[in-house]
Amino acid sequence: MKRTLLAALLMLGAAGAAHADDAVTFRLNWLIYGFHTPFYLGVEKGFYKQNGIDLTIGEGRGSGVAVQAVASGSDTFGLADGGSIIAGAAKGAPARAVMGIMNSSPYAICVRKDSGITTLKGLEGKTISATSGEAGLNIFPAILSHNDMAPDAITFLRVDAEAKLVAYLQNRVPAVLCGAENQALILEDKGVPTLVLSYPKLGVNTEGLAIVATPDTIEKKADMVRRFIRATQMSFEAAIKDPEASVDAGMKAKPSMDRTLALKQLNAGLQLIKSPHGPDQPIGWMAAEDWSETLALMKQYQDLHTDMPATAFWTNDLLPK
């Protein structure tokens, strides 16, 4: 009798383990803001649970840190910009993008509307503010080249991240390098009407934010990766239908967020999900052209040295069919 009972309990335990959700940790690229809220909406609505994922989301401290957290095994997935994924992988970090979350670059130039400047050409001979080392500044020469402007047509006041916005708000510069889905909205919120000249519309697109995993995870846990991607697709589809609910879910995780600003950030970010090369493709699909251009720009303007092809840094193979 005891042996029969023990056998039954062991069988029940084995059955429970077989159906247990995969414990997954996900590292954001930065502190929670509006565009991050769909992930929290997915948790709240049970999309990850439905796909067998027990998800824990952690705030981040930059894309590079997120790539390293995944590469070291500290987190299962991370959210990082394409440039950081390429830079990390080119230096030996085991990291590869499996899903594009922001396939149109958020890099932009924010221009004060009261300056009267309405085009890139209008900034010729002007000084604008930027932070030394920021990705948008590193590839800015490509913007000038693509628009037939001289390399020194626009000069920069190079200051730290906070000071560059202060210079703009105090009208010491007519423009500043910014993020279309974040800083541009903060500047508007501070009372300065702002025109946004986005890099993609100026002719230079780079891969924005993508979900990154290790090649080992991709190979050995392909089914789990597919389920994570599907749940994330469901989460963003729900956020598109109901942005307010998405922000509400994010506010529960971080009550200190400015709700109005978070909603603006989300709506702006949702416009950047699709690549200009595949506007009708499903959420998560990445374009070869975007990764190739990102790699080429990094080689030309960011002193990246690698023989790895662009295809080594990303794959669409795990997107649900």
Percent of the chain exceeding pLDDT 90 equals 86
Residue 4 has what pLDDT?
Answer: 55
At residue 16, the pLDDT reads: 47
DSSP letter, residue 128: E
Residues in Cβ contact with 85 at an 8 Å cutoff, skipping those fewer than 6 apart: 63, 67, 95, 96, 97, 207, 210, 212, 313, 314
- Distance set, CA 281 to CA 193, 284, 285, 287, 304 (Å): 33, 8, 6, 10, 30
Q: How many other C-beta atoms can be found within 10 angstroms of the C-beta atom of residue 4?
A: 8
pLDDT at residue 18 tops 80: no
pLDDT-based confidence at 61, cuts 50/70/90? confident
For the chain, the average pLDDT equals: 93
| 303 vs 194 pLDDT, higher one | 194
Q: Per-residue confidence at 15, pLDDT binned at 50, 70, 90?
A: very low
Secondary structure class of 106 (helix, strand, coil)? coil
Q: Write the pLDDT tens digit of every residue in 222-232.
A: 999 999 999 99
pLDDT per residue as tens digits for the range 111-169:
999 999 999 999 999 999 999 878 889 899 999 999 999 999 999 999 988 899 999 99
Q: Do 185 and 268 contact (CB within 8 A), yes or no?
A: yes
How many other CB atoms sit within 10 Å of the CB of residue 40?
23
Q: Per-residue pLDDT tens for 250-259? A: 999 999 999 9
Alpha helices in the chain (DSSP H): 2-18, 37-45, 47-50, 63-71, 82-90, 135-138, 140-146, 161-169, 183-189, 215-220, 222-241, 243-253, 259-270, 288-301
Query: For 281, left (φ over 0), alpha (ψ -120 to 50), or beta?
Result: beta
Sign of CA dihedral 263, 264, 265, 271: positive
Q: For residue range 230-243, what is the model confidence (pLDDT) as tens digits?
A: 999 999 999 999 99
Average pLDDT over residues 39-67: 96
DSSP 34-76: GGGHHHHHHHHHTHHHHTTEEEEEE--S-HHHHHHHHHTTS-S
Q: Is the pLDDT of residue 309 over 60?
A: yes
Give the pair of three-digit tokens for residue 195: 């025109």
Domains defined along the chain, listed by start:
22-104+207-313 (3.40.190.10), 107-202 (3.40.190.10)
DSSP reduced 3-state for 134: coil
